[in-house]
Amino acid sequence: MYLPSDPNSLTAITPETVFMDVVGVIREIKLLSLTQDEQQGGACFFPVAQNMPPPQAPAIAFNYAVRTTGDPRPLGQSIRQVVNGLDRELAVSDTLVMTERVDRSLTDRRLPMVLAVGFGTVGLFLSAVGIYGVLAYVVAQRRREIGVRMALGSSRWSIFDLIMREGLVLLAVGFAVGALGAFALRRTLESQLYGIAPTDPIVIALIASILAVVAIVACALPAQRATMVDPVVALSE
């Protein structure tokens, strides 16, 4: 490969052009953070001996990674001893295992995610209260109708099923609107997630199950109250 003196031209070869041998190509990596955009520039790696700063330049820091099959924590002291044996003026600092590096790189994303989970939990609670309130109001308004049905022979189970079906219609509409919203916002969600896709089927199934359970319980309570209506009392109101 060569580095052109004119950055706007990839074909101009001049006396200032620097030729280099490519000795290896690595797979794509994230240069800035684990959550950075996939559209990123490339990078060239040079041996330290070929890229040393001039003597008058400020001191530079080197980063290195050590791979081990066991617990990496006890290696910290051994690495410091090896480096001190090479040069006592070299300091080894900021020694962390890779899991700690990953956690540190995601710190700025953790607080927004915690807030999002908190707001989502509050929203789920308010939705459950809203569903319960709507169905409880429907049951109160239809007490005479429920009384007539029961007087004509409807079983408690049929009354329960009647109210539950009305609640499940609301649930189905809510799921449809939520699915459309999640699909429309998938690009925004991708920029806030790491290690998981916004359309991950396991996550979607888990969240849908939680929402369904909460909504069904919110529907079942008013439906259960409807089965307790006394036909005689309801018809006399």
Buried b (16+ CB within 10 A) or exposed e, 56-95: eeeeeeeeeeeeeeeebeeeeeeeeeeeeeeeeeeeeeee
Q: What is the pTM of this model?
A: 0.56
Percentage of the chain lying above the pLDDT 70 cut:
82
pLDDT at position 96? 84
Q: Which helix (H) or strand (E) holds 37?
A: none
Q: How many CA atoms lie within 13 A of 58 on its CB side?
A: 2
Residue at token pair 């069904």: 216
Look at residues 101, 20, 30, 87 and name the one whose alpha carbon lies nearest to residue 59: 87
Give the pLDDT confidence of 109-164 residue by residue, as tens digits: 778 778 888 888 898 888 888 888 888 888 887 778 878 887 788 788 888 888 88
**Gyration radius of the chain over CA positions:** 33
Strand partners, 2: 19
41 — pLDDT class (breaks 50, 70, 90): low
Range with the poorest average pLDDT among 26-35, 59-68, 100-109, 222-231: 26-35
Q: Higher model confidence: residue 182 or residue 7? A: 182
Q: How many CB atoms lie under 10 A from the CB of residue 146?
A: 21
Q: Residue 192 contacts by C-beta under 8 Å, 6 or more apart in sequence?
A: 35, 109, 112, 113
Question: Cβ distance 142 to 159 under 8 Å?
Answer: no
Assigned token pair, 147 = 């009384």
Task: State how far the alpha carbon of 164 is from the alpha carbons of 90, 118, 153, in Å.
Answer: 72, 29, 19
Give the pLDDT confidence of 73-110 residue by residue, as tens digits: 888 888 888 888 888 877 788 788 888 887 877 777 77
DSSP 185-223: THHHHHTT-SSS-TT-HHHHHHHHHHHHHHHHHHHHHHH
